Structure 1
Amino acid sequence: MDCVKVIGLEEGWSHMEVGVAKVTRILEGLKEPPVESESYIHLYTTIYNMCTQKPPNDYSRELYDRYRQVCEDYLTQRALPCLREKHSVFLLRELVLRWSNHKVMVRWLSRFFQYLDRCFTTRISVAPLREVGMTCFRDLVYEELHSRATDVVIELINEEREGGQIDRALLKNVLDIYVEAGKDQYKNDFETLMLKDSTSYYSRKAASWIQEDSCPEYMQKAEECLRKEKERVAHYLHSTTEAGLVEIVQRQLLVAVAKQLLDKEHSGCRALSRDDKVDDLSRMYRLFQPIAKGLEPVADVFKQHITAEGNALIKQAEDAATSGGVQDQLLVTQIMELHDKYMAHVMGSFQSHTLFHKALKEAFEVLCNKNVAGSSSAELLATFCDNLLKKGGIEKLGEEAVEHTLENVVKLLAYIRDKDLFAEFYREKQARRLLFDRSGGEEHESCILTKLKQQLGGHFTSKMEGMVTDMTLAKDQQLCFEAYLNTCVATKPGIDMTVTVLTTGFWPSYKTSDLNLPSEMIECIQVFKAYYELRTSHRRLMWIYSLGTCHVLGRFSARPVELIVSTYQAAVLLLFNNTERLTYHEIVEQLNLSHEDVVRLLHSLSCAKYKILKKEPMSKTISRTDVFEFNSNFTDRMRRIKVSLPPMDERKKVLEDVDKDRRYAIDAAVVRIMKSRKVLPHQQLVSECVALLSKMFKPDIRMIKKQIEDLISRDYLERNTDNPIPNTFKYLA
């Protein structure tokens, strides 16, 4: 029987040393033929045999230790001496070369020691041979040189930031060594230091650029820096570095100098907004949007700028009003243009971000709720609509412009707190347009009502729509009345008469009086009443003389003149058909009107532009002792003139009506809330009431408290003394 020869440790290792020496010479660039397959098989077999011999001749442990020693010797004798004498970029190149050579060495040794790696390391649970080789490089080479290498890499990165050309592939290879050295090595030994240096670098740049550059120039540089840092990560830094690096650039170049940047004189956010610098505003949005709360200071400056521009327009309008100029319509137009301009910025440059919508909304809520020269914004907007929708207003702007302007009116109305005040002013003016044939057309009247209805609901426009419908029905009614007169010859009053029948609930309340009408007018009224009673029996007519208009022929000495006057003025003038002179008291007695009304009428006919009546004594005021006489010598170059009445204080009446409606609304809201909740503390009831009513107006807390007390006195509510919470109310069914 043949005996297998036992290979001793030193004998076997001597063969291995030959193979290691050959690989070493190849790695060092010496002339050496490649490792042949016979040599590889011989070395593999030798290791295999030395590991499979029976104890005490199993040299697995010894070979494992000698493998480590080979790696350490190669690094200490070959790699480290060369690395220690290199500096700057040459150090990095040598480090990459030595790392590459070491990996080749480990790969070859792993092939020779393959059986040892497959069986021994797994059997006794020690580190695999490749890991041992990598650990040797990390402990002997990396630990000694990483600090120097990091300094060089950071220096090269800064050189590139300054516009220099560097070997990006070299840096990637160096940093791959950090990554392969272990999961924490790249972060602790390079990334942390590089980020710290980047912080200092960009802090210095920010301090310099913020002084030298305009806001657009600064932002272009910041955007370029962000782009290049992301590019840097893509080329040679590890992907995990990007978030930290970008955050540093954002913090140092944007966050730290945000206030200085945004407030820069002549080029900051205000100037960019004012001058419509769309691209620069878009860049500002792109830069600050990824930063947590980064857009807040931008939106704040945007809001302040809009408010300042709006306040300047309001101040300009107030100054013009003080000096006698008419600026109300111009102001509303300018505010609309301001809204259009900055809404375009919000939708375009700021990509409809909610923060900028909020900034625009808050700015215009301030502007649209200011009083201008004693008039509320609600009144100004209603007056603007009135002028726009009157005859002449539409022709002046053109159809498309009117449509756009009406849309803008509705947009501005959304910012006004006292929408009920606008509604009342608008309704008052709409009524006069419709009744006195001043409207530019039913199409535009309906157009704005449709837009208001979409924005605020049907309850907001129901009365206004009813008024338009009434006018359409009134025209049909008049045609029927004329047909009736043509068929009933005996009933003709001898005077051309037009009657507009309105629905009481839709129209503003108008003053009524027991005016003693002239017989001619009484006859007209009787004729229409007879006709109307044939048409309907369940409606009662109530005549509003204050809205009537009469065409009266004045037969003066020079020539007759047609006078367009109110029903009241006509009643005064017709008194002089039967007499030449009348005292103030006689006029009051025959008309049955109040002193205030008679003074207003007589002033318009004797003291104003057209002196149809002569007054004795002559003066600019009406007194109870005056005597009036028909002025037969009156003449005018026009054959038809309109004798206007002094304007009444509509604002006072509207405010009174709104105040009354608000009290009703508060009562209804309190009852509705208490009916559903039964019992509520005072504070909660007030809060819920404010929330319920704030869509139409901003309720006054004192008024709410007053109405609650009124409801208690009317037995709708009572104080709940049994409830432990003080000041609690209970609903009484």
Structure 2
Amino acid sequence: MALLNQSVTKLTNILEGLPEMPFSTMEYMLLCTTIYNLFVTKGPPDYSELLYEKYKKSLMDYIESRVLPPLRSKHDEYLLQELVQRWLNYKVMVRWLSRFFHYLDRYFVTRKSLPPVTEAGMTCFRDLVYEEMKGKIKDVVISLIYQEREGRQIDRALLKNVVEIFIQIGFGSRECYEVDFEAPMLQDTAAYYSRKASKWIIEDSCPEYMLKAEERLKQEKDRVDHYLHTSTEQKLLENVEHQLLSVNENQLLEKENSGCLALLRDDKVDDLDLMYRLFSRIPEGLNPVSRLFKQHLTAEGTELVNQAENAASSKRAEKRDAADSPQLVLIRRIIELHDKYMGYVRENFQNHTLLNKALKEAFEVFCNKSVASSSSPEMLASFCDNVLKKGGSEKKLSDEEIDRTLDKAIKLLSYINDKDLFAEFSRKKLGRRLLFDRYGNEDHERSILTYLKQQCGAQFTSKMEGMVTDITLSKEIQSCFEDYLHANPHAYPGTDLSVNVLTTGFWPSYKSSDLTLPDEMIKCIEAFKKFYDSSTKNRRLTWIYSLGTCNINAKFDAKSIELTVATYQAAVLLLFNSADRLSYAEIKAQLNLTDDDMVRVLHSLSCARYKILKKTPTTDTVSPNDVFEFNSRFTDRMRRIKVPLPPVDESKKLIEDVNKDRRYAVDAYVVRIMKSRKVLGHQELVLECIQQLSRMFKPDVKLIKQRIEDLITREFLERDEEDTSVYKYIA
């Protein structure tokens, strides 16, 4: 044992830097042999147990004499420096002694189920040094971290070494690190940033506060990278995020002159980027951002609607938009608004679902408002019509710009509840563009149908696609008709005729009247009917006079002028080929027109801009007592003029037709749902019906209830005898 004591003393002197010769090979071999001989000697006494205890006693003596005294006398950074050095020396001591006593690990430790000699050595340090000094060490480290946060330079390498001691002393477990250091450090961090946040929230604007918060988060991550354990990163950052962001989020974002609303109002895109980066880090952090985003968008959109309403009521638009109605200006501005804030969502808010939802909900609020009795579906349909037709206010746009404008306009349709109403208005306007040759480009017509199909499905556009196809086929039929007349000169009616053959199911319902045509027109119709009957079978033609136009060569005293008029107007004018004066009653009797049509037609010819007929008495209104004669003195500087017929407001009828179709749609969906489910409660049926119908329109609960009652009456459904709120499908 004396040799062992001498070796321990020599090793201690070497570690302490005292003058001492290093171990020679002979000394090392002699010591190992001596310990081996003791180990293999059979007791009593049991030398293996004595050696194990001697090993621990040597380390404990070293700690008591060489390690603890200097540690107890040091403070602040000097304590940490001393600790690191003593820890390094102690590990060398343990490593050397473990080599001397390695036979214990191989046999004695295993047999007795004792800790290996290295672990036993480290346990001595933990029990004697760590347990006594851990509180003081922890306080010094936390103090240095505080100083670094306040801008002072500290020895990061030293802190890294100290943190390593907290980790290594746990023998593979981070319990010592987490309980003795990490938890108090996180608690101190929370208190520190709570004080900072309370100060910044009062002194700084929202962008300034966010810049400081982001910088502090970067610093804390950097702190982990340099001297804290990687497992601390998430806990530390969540701690800081909670104090700087979560606690003060609403107060920060709602700052009057610099909060979220102000940043959106002033287009501070960089600050919005920063806001998203910060608040997307915390749980539910984007909820207040999305709420304020929706609030701002709703306010901006509603203001646009109010401006359009004011302009419409005063019949005055801004000068730059003077050519457009306030409704068209509104749609254009909503498209610009959508472009702007969709850009924010994509670029500044990383296309986050929550912000997309906020944008959608905001646009749904003001995109479903009416302006001057024009519903949003009608305004959007009118805007698209204005883009597509010849001479619209968008005529200066290139083909690519028109396509982009149409694409953007159709995207607004997703926010409109009554998509079926938009479809009917669009179909009506498409019909006028196609029939009166007002469309600018057939490719654009097909483009908008493509956009609509992508947005709403093939069923939404099937009828409109059929309308475009009808016009293409009509051109072929017209060409064949002309070839027919060329081949049969005797069939030529004396007047050029162009006919569009339409398929009833595709086109909107148009007014059909029993107009008594003049002989000149009858010849034209009979000629085409004869041709059509010879080329097709089992198809009956119904003539829609309200959609026709005529070119009439009118001979006035000054000169002849070509008049472009509607069929009704042409029929009236042709009567004056055989009569100089005709009364209201005579015209009505010869043409079989209704009073409403009579007033519209005669007013357009005698009281409007072009007075082709003279009326007696001379007033601005048409009455049944009026008498008309051809105005031979009429003249105009143009040789060709168009005499417009006042349009009939068909919006009311169109809405009535849509409401009727909705009843059929509700019936169909209720039956379809019940057919698949067989038995279903009232509330579940209504909710499922609303969910499925909302793709086309927002159904009224009262309407659904009415249709359910009607289906019960018609014996498609029946109520359960025991529970009247449950319906059964009758097969």
Is TM > 0.5 for Structure 1 vs Structure 2?
Answer: yes
Instruction: Say which SS state the counterpart of residue 637 (structure 1) adopts.
Output: coil
Consecutive unaligned residues of structure 1, counting only runs of 5 or more, are 1-11
> Of the candidates 714, 724, 727, which is equivalent to residue 726 of structure 1?
724
What's 1:424 paired with?
Answer: 424
Q: Distance in 2 between matches of 1:544 and 1:127?
A: 104
What's 1:133 paired with?
Answer: 121
The one-letter code matched in structure 2 to 1:527 is A
What's 2:247 paired with?
Answer: 256
Q: Distance in 2 between matches of 1:677 and 1:237?
A: 61
What's 1:338 paired with?
Answer: 337
Deviation at 1:538, TM superposition (A): 1.6
Instruction: Say which SS state the counterpart of residue 619 (structure 1) adopts.
Output: coil
Instruction: Say which SS state the counterpart of residue 396 (structure 1) adopts.
Output: coil
What's 1:74 paired with?
Answer: 62
What's 2:53 paired with?
Answer: 65
Which stretch of the first structure deviates more once superposed, 374-383 or 675-684? 675-684
What's 2:285 paired with?
Answer: 294
The one-letter code matched in structure 2 to 1:254 is L
Deviation at 1:272, TM superposition (A): 4.4
Q: Distance in 2 between matches of 1:50 and 1:470?
A: 111
Alpha-carbon displacement from aligned partner over 1:203-232 (angstroms, at most 9, x marks no partner): 222233334444444333333322332222
Provide the identity percentage.
Answer: 61
What's 1:186 paired with?
Answer: 177
The answer (yes or no) to whether the contact 2:720–2:728 under 8 Å persists in 1 is: no
What's 1:666 paired with?
Answer: 666
What's 1:551 paired with?
Answer: 551
Q: Distance in 1 between matches of 2:200 and 2:637?
A: 75
Which stretch of the first structure deviates more once superposed, 265-274 or 494-503? 265-274
What's 1:202 paired with?
Answer: 193
Deviation at 1:343, TM superposition (A): 2.5
1:125–1:506 Cα change, 3 Å: closer
Which stretch of the first structure deviates more once superposed, 353-362 or 266-275? 266-275
Alpha-carbon displacement from aligned partner over 1:425-480 (angstroms, at most 9, x marks no partner): 00101111111111102121112112222332222112111111111222222222
- Kindly indicate whether residue 366 of structure 2 is the aligned counterpart of residue 401 of structure 1: no
Instruction: Say which SS state the counterpart of residue 439 (structure 1) adopts.
Output: coil
The answer (yes or no) to whether the contact 2:718–2:730 under 8 Å persists in 1 is: no
Q: Distance in 2 between matches of 1:609 and 1:348?
A: 54
Instruction: Say which SS state the counterpart of residue 79 (structure 1) adopts.
Output: helix
What's 2:388 paired with?
Answer: 389
Q: Distance in 2 between matches of 1:297 and 1:530?
A: 72
Pairwise mapping of residues 3-152 of structure 1 onto structure 2 (< 5 A)?
Answer: 12=1, 14-116=2-104, 118-152=106-140
- Kindly indicate whether residue 378 of structure 2 is the aligned counterpart of residue 379 of structure 1: yes
1:50–1:673 Cα change, 3 Å: closer
The answer (yes or no) to whether the contact 1:272–1:281 under 8 Å persists in 2 is: yes
The answer (yes or no) to whether the contact 1:671–1:716 under 8 Å persists in 2 is: no
Deviation at 1:59, TM superposition (A): 4.2
Q: Distance in 2 between matches of 1:264 and 1:604?
A: 61
Deviation at 1:117, TM superposition (A): 5.0
Q: Distance in 1 between matches of 2:490 and 2:136?
A: 121
1:40–1:731 Cα change, 3 Å: closer
Instruction: Say which SS state the counterpart of residue 396 (structure 2) adopts.
Output: helix
Which stretch of the first structure deviates more once superposed, 429-438 or 159-168? 159-168
Which stretch of the first structure deviates more once superposed, 286-295 or 81-90? 286-295
- Kindly indicate whether residue 318 of structure 2 is the aligned counterpart of residue 320 of structure 1: no
Pairwise mapping of residues 518-529 of structure 1 onto structure 2 (< 5 A)?
Answer: 518-529=518-529
What's 2:492 paired with?
Answer: 492
What's 2:617 paired with?
Answer: 617
Deviation at 1:50, TM superposition (A): 4.3
1:35–1:550 Cα change, 3 Å: same
The answer (yes or no) to whether the contact 1:147–1:189 under 8 Å persists in 2 is: yes
What's 1:174 paired with?
Answer: 162
Deviation at 1:52, TM superposition (A): 4.4
Which stretch of the first structure deviates more once superposed, 172-181 or 270-279? 270-279
The one-letter code matched in structure 1 to 2:503 is T
The one-letter code matched in structure 1 to 2:287 is E
Q: Distance in 2 between matches of 1:258 and 1:514?
A: 72
The answer (yes or no) to whether the contact 2:556–2:635 under 8 Å persists in 1 is: yes
1:46–1:680 Cα change, 3 Å: closer
- Kindly indicate whether residue 234 of structure 2 is the aligned counterpart of residue 240 of structure 1: no
Pairwise mapping of residues 450-599 of structure 1 onto structure 2 (< 5 A)?
Answer: 450-599=450-599
1:625–1:150 Cα change, 3 Å: same
Deviation at 1:390, TM superposition (A): 0.6
1:221–1:56 Cα change, 3 Å: same
The one-letter code matched in structure 2 to 1:81 is P
Q: Distance in 1 between matches of 2:561 and 2:626?
A: 26
The answer (yes or no) to whether the contact 1:48–1:116 under 8 Å persists in 2 is: no
The answer (yes or no) to whether the contact 2:565–2:642 under 8 Å persists in 1 is: yes
RMSD over equivalenced CA pairs, Å: 2.5
The one-letter code matched in structure 2 to 1:489 is P
What's 1:693 paired with?
Answer: 693
Alpha-carbon displacement from aligned partner over 1:534-581 (angstroms, at most 9, x marks no partner): 222321111111111122333334433333221112222233333333
Deviation at 1:396, TM superposition (A): 1.2
Deviation at 1:277, TM superposition (A): 4.8
Q: Distance in 2 between matches of 1:123 and 1:252?
A: 54
Deviation at 1:172, TM superposition (A): 1.4
Instruction: Say which SS state the counterpart of residue 347 (structure 1) adopts.
Output: helix
The answer (yes or no) to whether the contact 1:47–1:116 under 8 Å persists in 2 is: no
- Kindly indicate whether residue 412 of structure 2 is the aligned counterpart of residue 412 of structure 1: yes
Deviation at 1:524, TM superposition (A): 2.1
Instruction: Say which SS state the counterpart of residue 384 (structure 1) adopts.
Output: helix
Instruction: Say which SS state the counterpart of residue 577 (structure 1) adopts.
Output: coil
Which stretch of the first structure deviates more once superposed, 418-427 or 166-175? 166-175
1:130–1:676 Cα change, 3 Å: closer
The answer (yes or no) to whether the contact 1:202–1:253 under 8 Å persists in 2 is: yes
What's 2:221 paired with?
Answer: 230
Q: Distance in 2 between matches of 1:439 and 1:349?
A: 39
- Kindly indicate whether residue 653 of structure 2 is the aligned counterpart of residue 656 of structure 1: no
Deviation at 1:248, TM superposition (A): 0.7
1:119–1:464 Cα change, 3 Å: closer
Q: Distance in 1 between matches of 2:691 and 2:30?
A: 93
Q: Distance in 2 between matches of 1:672 and 1:507?
A: 27
Q: Distance in 2 between matches of 1:628 and 1:379?
A: 38
The one-letter code matched in structure 2 to 1:103 is K
Number of aligned positions between the proteins: 719
1:26–1:590 Cα change, 3 Å: same
Consecutive unaligned residues of structure 2, counting only runs of 5 or more, are 318-324
1:499–1:50 Cα change, 3 Å: closer
1:129–1:529 Cα change, 3 Å: closer
